[in-house]
Amino acid sequence: MKLNRRAFLKTTAAAGAAAYLSGDALAQSSMNVKIQSIQTFPLIYPTIGRFKFFEGPKGRPSGRPAVLVKITADNGKVGWGQSVPVPKWSYETLESVCTTIEKYLAPELLGLNPADSNAIHAVMQEVIAPSFSTGQPICKAGIDLALADLNGKILQQNAAHSWKQKGRSKITLSWTLNPRTLDEIEGLIEQGTARGYKHFNVKVAPDPKFDLEMCRIVKRLVPNGFLWADANGGYDVATALEVAPKLADIGVPVLEQPIPANRLTGYQQLKKQGALPIIMDEGVVSSVELEEFIKLGLLDGVAMKPARCGGLTEARRQVEMIKNAGMMFLGSGLTDPDFALAATLILYGAYDLKYPAALNGPQFIDATVLKQPFKVENGELPVPTGFGLGVEIDEKNIEPLLVKI
């Protein structure tokens, strides 16, 4: 009998399914549960303060764009997820996420078992092909998170239940500093400390003189805090090699994404220099290139972002690779609101994140669709423990944030 494409992908994926499914989840995968519908809700969350990645372009509404994803099973259970595109950080947009899910992914996923993660990801990979790495991973993360939420609710367990990881119940946060002038730094630090934050991450590049002075000021004002420098690929190789030892002398413990993601020989030079641990971010989307980058000696660790790599399924693989290699596992995000933040907290809690996490959604976002919003206390957020992603939506909160695309 000739198999259609989806049946073929599902069959070929089954061989690897057991690696990431517990006994409970395997039992569920044999149940006759199917995806009935997939919906998207494009939102703009209002923001407070200044974060350079949400500035512009002209003519666009200001705020943090995000797409809520709602997956309904034929048994009536509902799972929610979230895609968090940032055009200044990646090529994905609010519009591209919605149209890709609605016109390409959803039609192929309807009728599949929501517990069959391998088959679902194989279908998504086939429908939206990769280039260098996973195609449209931020978009696909919304589907992955919604499935984690849905499956957890069907099984009446938290998304992390099947991972069998002994973690932590709270995640320590880091306050993000991206000042336009040095005079702004003290006031920005005061804002963070007033809310209980003890640790700070700074956006550096392209001006090394400004960056070094900024870090000196932060270390003077918060000498015991973990100071994390993130260049977002903004230095060239020569500047990064010059700056790294000077940052180390100031007391900066790590340098994240110092040069563009495709400057691989530059990362080799920085790793060989050894002035600071070199952390990759934007360049690591799938575990395929992470494995290659580790073999090539390009990095000392990764700043994880489930939204960047297509969701929790792939993020877990990468965290385990990093930990098995004895490298630094740092946690950050894409200024995640609501459901993306819940998923990230669950991941970092389960895998016992030891460093302050640069999760700045609570710092910059001024709205929520949750029944019980996240609340930072003493610079920490609790790891959600409810079914699925551990949080509940209040659908009346969606309407004020909806935008037309």
CA 284 to chain centre: 12
Model's pTM, two decimal places?
A: 0.92
Q: Which CATH class is domain 165-395?
A: alpha beta
Distance between CA atoms of 378 and 22, rounded to whole angstroms?
35
The pLDDT score that the predictor gives to residue 30 is 43
Angle at 229 between CA 226 and CA 231, to 5 degrees: 165
The pLDDT score that the predictor gives to residue 31 is 65
Q: Backbone phi, then psi, for 137, in 5-degree steps?
A: -65, -30
Distance between CA atoms of 212 and 233, rounded to whole angstroms?
17
Write out the residue limits of the CATH 3.20.20.120 domain(s) in the chain. Answer: 165-395
Q: Backbone phi, then psi, for 65, in 5-degree steps?
A: -75, 145
Angle at which helix 237-250 crosses helix 264-273, to 10 degrees, equals: 30
Angle at 174 between CA 169 and CA 179, to 5 degrees: 160
Give the whole-number percent of the chain exceeding pLDDT 70: 91
Distance between CA atoms of 175 and 311, rounded to whole angstroms?
24
What mean pLDDT do residues 162-182 have?
A: 94
What mean pLDDT do residues 330-345 have?
A: 96
Strands 78-83, 64-73: pairing is antiparallel
pLDDT in tens, 187-244: 999 999 999 999 999 999 999 999 999 999 999 999 999 999 999 999 999 999 999 9
Distance between CA atoms of 258 and 50, rounded to whole angstroms?
22
Cα torsion 314, 318, 324, 329: sign = negative
Q: List Cα–Cα distances, 298 to 257, 275, 280, 281, 289, in angstroms.
A: 11, 14, 9, 12, 11
pLDDT in tens, 347-388: 999 999 999 999 999 999 999 999 999 999 999 999 999 999
Q: Would you place residue 89 in the very low, low, confident or very high pLDDT band (cuts 50, 70, 90)?
A: confident
Distance between CA atoms of 39 and 234, rounded to whole angstroms?
37
Tokens 């956006």: give the residue. Answer: 203
Half-sphere exposure of 242 (CA within 13 A, CB side): 12
Q: What is the largest CA-CA distance in the chain?
A: 72
Cα torsion 344, 349, 355, 361: sign = positive
Q: Which CATH class is domain 5-161?
A: alpha beta
Write out the residue limits of the CATH 3.30.390.10 domain(s) in the chain. Answer: 5-161
The pLDDT score that the predictor gives to residue 1 is 36
Strands 35-45, 278-280: pairing is unpaired
What token pair was written down for 80?
């929610």
Q: Would you place residue 304 in the very low, low, confident or very high pLDDT band (cuts 50, 70, 90)?
A: very high
Name 56's Cβ contacts closer than 8 Å, sequence gap at least 6: 88
